[in-house]
Amino acid sequence: MANALQAIRGMNDVLPEQSPAWQFLEDTLREVMESYGFAEIRMPIVEKTELFKRSIGEVTDIVEKEMYTFEDRNGDSLTLRPEGTAGCVRACVQHGLLHNQVQRLWYTGPMFRHERPQKGRYRQFFQIGVEVFGFEGPDIDAELLIMTARMWKSLGLSGLSLQLNSLGTSAARASFRDDLVAYLGQHIEQLDDDSRRRLQTNPLRILDSKNPQVQAVLDAAPALSDYIDEDSRQHFNSLCALLDAAGVAYQVNPRLVRGLDYYGRTVFEWVSDQLGAQGTVCAGGRYDALVEYLGGRATPAVGFAIGMERLLALLETQGVSLPDTSPHLYIVVMGEAAQQQGLLLAERLRDALPALRLITHCGGGSFKAQFRKADRCGARYALILGDEEVQKREVGLKPLREERDQQKIPFDQLEARIAGLFGW
* Residues at the interface with ligand ATP (CB under 6 A): 83, 113, 115, 120-122, 125, 127, 259, 278, 280-283, 305, 307, 309-310
Element (H, E) at 180: helix 170-185
Q: How far is the CB of 62 from ligand ATP (least distance, A)?
A: 7
| Per-position DSSP letters for 94-114, written without gaps between them | HTTTTTT--EEEEEEEEEE--
At 164 the three-state DSSP class reads strand
The closest of 122, 164, 199, 120 to 284, measured between CA atoms, is 164
At 399 the three-state DSSP class reads strand
Q: How far is the CB of 10 from ligand ATP (least distance, A)?
A: 8
Q: How far is the CB of 67 from ligand ATP (least distance, A)?
A: 12
Nearest CB to ligand ATP, comparing residues 126 and 133? 126
Element (H, E) at 46: strand 46-48
Element (H, E) at 174: helix 170-185
Q: How far is the CB of 129 from ligand ATP (least distance, A)?
A: 8
Nearest CB to ligand ATP, comparing residues 313 and 359? 313
Nearest CB to ligand ATP, comparing residues 238 and 278? 278
**Neighbouring C-beta atoms of residue 355, cutoff 10 Å:** 8
Nearest CB to ligand ATP, comparing residues 206 and 358? 206
Q: Contact, 268 vs 256, CB < 8 A?
A: yes
- Residues, the chain, total? 424
Q: How far is the CB of 286 from ligand ATP (least distance, A)?
A: 13
Instruction: Specify which residues 285 forms β-bridges with.
Output: 267, 303
Give alpha helix (H) positions in 290-408. 290-293, 308-317, 336-352, 367-376, 387-392
Nearest CB to ligand ATP, comparing residues 130 and 282? 282
Could you report how far apart the first and last alpha carbons of the chain are, in Å?
Answer: 47
Q: How far is the CB of 81 from ligand ATP (least distance, A)?
A: 11
| Per-position DSSP letters for 195-225, written without gaps between them | HHHHHHH-GGGGGG---HHHHHHHHTSPPGG
Nearest CB to ligand ATP, comparing residues 113 and 173? 113
Nearest CB to ligand ATP, comparing residues 271 and 353? 271
Element (H, E) at 359: strand 358-360
Nearest CB to ligand ATP, comparing residues 305 and 338? 305
Q: How far is the CB of 309 from ligand ATP (least distance, A)?
A: 5
Q: How far is the CB of 204 from ligand ATP (least distance, A)?
A: 13
Q: How far is the CB of 111 from ligand ATP (least distance, A)?
A: 7
Nearest CB to ligand ATP, comparing residues 302 and 358? 302
Backbone angles phi, psi at 123, to 5 degrees: -90, -30
Q: How far is CA 34 from CA 30, 186, 230, in A?
A: 6, 51, 35
The closest of 124, 121, 144, 128 to 313, measured between CA atoms, is 121
Minimal CB distance to ligand ATP: which residue? 307
Nearest CB to ligand ATP, comparing residues 24 and 122? 122
Q: How far is the CB of 46 from ligand ATP (least distance, A)?
A: 18
